[in-house]
Amino acid sequence: MPNVRLAARYAKSLFDLAVEKGELEKVYDDMKLIHAVCKVSKDFVTLLHSPIIPVDKKEKILGAIFKERVSPLTGQFTRLLVRKGREINFPEITTAFIEHYKEYKGIQTLTITTAFPVSADVKEGIINKVQAKIKAKELEVEEKVNPDIIGGFRLELKDYLIDATIQSILNKAKAELQNNDFVFRLR
């Protein structure tokens, strides 16, 4: 199970330090980079999780991967994580950091899922409508394409969801048709 509480603690300490040192944007970029690496490379996550690879080796590997690409503060943080044996939680910590950053800046993330890539003006229309409702300081839009939903769209914002996909409508119709006593009355 992802350790949400632990991730929040580490993320917050890094965040506060970054704010203090005035390197928030830099660290945020680093975290986005590491988050993306964790998402793309399964091998990297496996490496973090592996109990066979010794701590000093992990430290060296992480150093080699990120040294050129991240700020010194992030480098130090990475070493701290490895020494504390929390490198396993690195992906969650980056997620928690990004969330914390967005909250700090008042950025809200809207996820739009569609079956096919949508045209810019449709997207614009959706974004404008959502923005008119929630009035976020800044609205970040994430697009996803998932052919399984057949048609329609799905909007996700924090804990809220609007599901207007053909898939969900079909599921609802299926449940409605299964839940009946007509068949029994006819028998």
Partner 1 sequence: MVDIKPDEISAILRQQLTNFNAAAELEEVGTVLQVGDGIARIYGLNNVGSGELVEFENGVKAIALNLEEDNVGVVLMGETGELQEGSKVRRTGQIASINVGEGMLGRVVNMLGEPIDGKGPLSGKLYEMPIERKAPGVIFREPVREPLQTGIKAIDAMIPIGRGQRELIIGDRQTGKTAIAIDTIINQKEFFKAGKPVYCIYVATGQKASTIASVMKTLQDNGAMEYTVIVAASASDPAPLQFYAPFAGAAIGEYFRDTGRPALIIYDDLSKQAVAYREVCLLLRRPPGREAYPGDVFYLHSRLLERAAKIIGDDAVAKNMNDLPESIRHLVKGGGSLTALPMIETQAGDVSAYIPTNVISITDGQIFLESNLFNSGIRPAINVGISVSRVGGNAQIKSMKKVAGTLKLDQALYREMEAFSKFGGDLDAATKVVLDKGARNVEILKQAQYSPYSVDKQVAIIYLGTQGLVRNVPVRRMKEFEEHFLMEMENKLPEVMAEFKKGNLPEDGLKRMVDLANSIIPQYK
Query: Where along the sequence are the contacts to partner 1 (CB under 8 A)?
Result: 1-2, 4-5, 8, 156, 159-164, 168-169, 172-173, 175-177, 180-184, 186-187
Beta strand segments in the chain, E: 107-114, 138-145, 152-157, 160-165
Q: Name the pairing type of β-strands 107-114 and 152-157.
A: antiparallel
Query: Is the separation of the CB atoms in 154 and 164 below 8 Å?
Result: yes
Q: Which residues contact 131 (CB under 8 A, 6 or more apart)?
A: 139
CB-wise, 70 or 130, nearer to partner 1? 130
- Compute the least distance from the CB of residue 117 to partner 1, in Å: 21
CB-wise, 57 or 174, nearer to partner 1? 174
- Compute the least distance from the CB of residue 153 to partner 1, in Å: 9
Q: Measure the CA–CA gap between 108 and 128, rounded to whole angstroms.
A: 14
- Compute the least distance from the CB of residue 160 to partner 1, in Å: 6
CB-wise, 22 or 42, nearer to partner 1? 42
CB-wise, 40 or 161, nearer to partner 1? 161
